[in-house]
Amino acid sequence: LADGPLKGKHILVTSGPTHEPIDPVRYIANRSSGAQGTAIATALAALGADVTFVAGPADIAPPAGVRVVPVETAAQMLEAVQTALPADAAVFAAAVADWHVANASDSKIKKDASGLPELSFAENPDILATVSQMKTGRPGLIVGFAAETNDVIANATAKRLRKGCDWIVANDVSPETGIMGGSENAVTLISDDGAEDWPRMGKDAVATKLAARIAQVLVG
Ligand code: C5P
C-alpha cells in the first residue's frame, strides 16, 4: 500500500455496470464503462487508502493495489458491499441495474419454444440507500453519483436527501456531452454546504480531486 494521508483508512468503492441474467447465456446490462469508479479507486489507493473495489463486469482492468471483489448482479454487489463493511468511507460509482429479471430461466431459453419469451421484472435493492440508512456501522462519509439528463442539480439534490448519503457527484450524461463512455467529466459536488461546480476535466482529474476532498474530511 502507498504511503499517504489515507493510510489506515478503509474505503469501499463500487464501480461498473451490473449484469442481470435472463438465462445462463443472456443478460440485461447498461453502458457504464467503469472508468470513473476505477479512477476513483486508483486515486484513493495513491493516497494510501486500503481500498475494497466491488466491481461489476467491465472491460477496463481494475486498479493495482486494491482488493478487487468481482460481482455480476446488483444482489451480489449488495452482498459484497455488506461483507466488505465496516469502512471509513464509501463511494458508490456503480451503475446498478434498477431491475432484475424475476423469471430468469435456469436453462437457455429456446427460440422454438412456445412463442416469444415474456420477461417480468422485480426491483433491485438500492445499495447506496441501504448503506446510507444503516443505523449502526454506517461509513462516516458516503458519496453517491447521479447521472442525469435534465434538471441535473435539482434531481441530484433531491436524490441526496432521499437516499441519505453525504455527498452526491452529479453529472449531465446527455448524449451531446460525450461523458458516458468518454474520458472527461463535468460534475457538480452536492453536499450539505450546497452545490459546487467543477470545471470539465478528465475522469482521472475528477477522481484525484474527489480523493483529496475525501482525505480532507477523513483526516483533516
Ligand atoms: O437512483 P440512481 O440510480 O440515479 O442513483 C445513483 C446512485 O445510487 C449511484 O451512486 C449508484 O451507485 C447508486 N445506486 C445503488 N444501487 C442501486 C441504484 C443506484 O447503489 N440499486
Check pocket membership of 167 for ligand 1, CB cut-off 6 A. no
pLDDT digits (tens, 9 = 90+) for 85-104: 999 999 999 999 999 999 99
> Does a structural domain hold residue 201?
yes
CATH classification of the domain holding 164: 3.40.50.10300
> What digits encode the pLDDT tens for the residues 7-19?
999 999 999 999 9
Give percent above pLDDT 70 in the chain: 100
Question: Is 1 part of a structural domain of the chain?
Answer: no
Q: At residue 113, what is the residue type?
A: A
pLDDT of residue 121: 98
Better-predicted residue by pLDDT, 179 or 95: 95
Q: Establish whether residue 146 lines the binding site of ligand 1, counting it when its CB lies within 6 angstroms of any ligand atom.
A: yes
Helix 35-46 vs helix 203-219: crossing angle, to nearest 10: 40
| Predicted local distance difference test score (pLDDT) of residue 128 | 98
**Ligand 1 centroid vs 106 CA: distance in angstroms?**
28
**Using 50, 70 and 90 to split pLDDT, how confident is the model at 176?**
confident
How far from each other are the two terminal CA atoms of the chain, in whole angstroms?
Answer: 21
Q: What pLDDT digit, counting tens, does each position of 182-201 carry?
A: 788 899 999 999 999 999 99
H/E run at residue 86: none
Q: Is the complex ipTM higher than 0.85?
A: yes
Residue 185 pLDDT: 87
Q: Whose CA is nearest to atom 4 of ligand 1?
A: 146
Q: Is the CB of 92 under 6 A from ligand 1?
A: yes
Structural domain boundaries enclosing 66: 10-219
Number of domains comprising the chain: 1
Look at residue 3 and tell me if it is in a domain: no
Q: H helices then E strands: how many in the chain?
A: 5, 14
Tell whether 4 is covered by a domain.
no
Report the SS3 class of residue 145: strand
Q: Collapsing DSSP states into helix, strand and coil, what is residue 140? A: coil
Grade residue 178 by pLDDT with cuts at 50, 70 and 90. Answer: confident
Instruction: Indicate the top mutation candidate among 127, 148, 157, 162 to test ligand 1's pocket, ranked by most ligand atoms within 8 A of CB.
Output: 127
Ligand 1: which of 15, 143, 145 to mutate, most ligand atoms within 8 Å of CB?
145
User: Distance from CA of residue 113 to its chain's centroid?
Assistant: 38
Is 30 annotated in the active site? Answer: yes
Is any atom of ligand 1 closer than 6 Å to the C-beta of 166?
no
The pLDDT-based confidence of 179 (bands split at 50, 70, 90) is confident
Q: Is residue 114 over pLDDT 80? A: no
Q: Which of 15, 14, 32 is nearest to 139 (CA)?
A: 14
Question: Looking at the domain assignment, is residue 5 inside a domain?
Answer: no
For the stretch 121-135, pLDDT in tens is 999 999 999 999 999
Determine the 3-state secondary structure of 148 from DSSP.
Answer: strand
Question: What number does the ligand 1 atom closest to the CA of 163 have?
Answer: 8
Q: Other CB atoms closer than 10 Å to residue 173's CB: what's the count? A: 18
**Is the preceding omega at residue 5 within 30 degrees of 0, hence cis?**
no
